[in-house]
Amino acid sequence: MTAAAVEQSLVLWGMQGAETRLIATRENQVYRVDHAGRACALRLHRPGYRTDAELWSELQWMNAAAAGGLHVPAPIPSTSGEFLHVADDIQVDVLTWLSGAPVGQTGEDLAATDRIGLFYGIGREMARLHAVSDRWTPPEGFSRWSWNREGLLGKTPVWDRFWENPSLTKEDRALFLALRNKADEALQRLEGKLDYGLIHADLVRENVMADGDKLQLIDFDDSGFGFRLFDLATTLLRNMRETDYPALRDALIAGYLSVRAIDLTALNLFLVLRSATYVGWIITRMDEPGSKARNQRFIGTTRVLARQYLAKKEFPE
């Protein structure tokens, strides 16, 4: 089925006979396509994960971000002018190819030479994405999920009910329920006061690429509406184990503030909420290779942050 979808996609984009190579099989299958002297990325989306409207909306936003000067993959229209098609019952699209390399990998020590400069740059590009998004008016029919209070803590969160992860001990379940209740109270007080809009929602190391002095943001699969602090928290959470984390955190924030202002008062709340989302995300992926270890790591990190948040202690530096 996949081979048929690839061949049909090449026809739809007028690239018959192009060389294709599978390069990623995370949430989607991504192929590098070389045709007529240029490379592009063909994405085959996981069946049932996104509606056509949601994917069309993602592509519209990426197009606006690229037009606004961000280094992001931009959608390439097919020969009929559309960004999105269905080929052999699989949703497909084609994006411009970015030649950079990821700045790091989760679970490995950060190897960047200029670590402070890197995080300053990530913060700057994150803020530029938010600024461009605020100047853009989404078209009619725009539909993406929301990392709002309901999407984080409601009955049907974006990434499942973290407080019902089947691996939780009785003590962890009580702790996570207490976190949910206290965080929900906090967000009720803060709603309308925090910066809210379109966010990337997954700016981890693998999704930031460097090409010389340019930083490129990729993988908008989890993007949607949300609190801007959620983007900062996502990047920070995955780097809390670095020995120079305080300096990296300060650099990320300084880079962000060099472009636009943001109230950082609730940043620790979003760090623990971001951590908790992974405890929910893993619930439907327990059978995947390595999931048992990842699940315990997610739970352990959230346990520590939840205890500190509920005790109103600063997170460790």
- The per-residue pLDDT for range 207-221, each reduced to its tens digit, is 999 999 999 999 999
Percent of the chain as helix, strand, coil, to the nearest 5 = 45, 15, 40
Quick one: 2-97 is in which CATH superfamily?
Phosphorylase Kinase; domain 1 (3.30.200.20)
Provide the pLDDT for residue 315: 57
> Which of 148, 298, 125 lies closest to 209 in space, CA to CA?
125
| Segment-wise mean pLDDT, segments of 10 residues, the chain, 317 residues | 89 95 88 95 92 96 97 97 96 96 88 93 98 97 96 96 97 97 95 95 96 95 96 96 95 98 96 98 92 95 96 64
* Residue-range domain boundaries for the chain: 2-97, 102-310
Provide the pLDDT for residue 113: 87
273 φ/ψ angles, rounded to the nearest 5 degrees: -65, -40
Distance CA(137)–CA(61), nearest Å, equals 10
Provide the pLDDT for residue 27: 76
- Could you read off the pLDDT of 54-106 as tens digits, one per residue? 999 999 999 999 999 999 999 999 999 999 999 999 999 999 999 999 999 88
Distance CA(312)–CA(22), nearest Å, equals 47
Provide the pLDDT for residue 134: 97
Fold of 102-310: Aminoglycoside 3'-phosphotransferase; Chain: A, domain 2 (3.90.1200)
H or E element in which residue 176 lies: helix 170-190
Distance CA(287)–CA(307), nearest Å, equals 29
Distance CA(310)–CA(240), nearest Å, equals 19
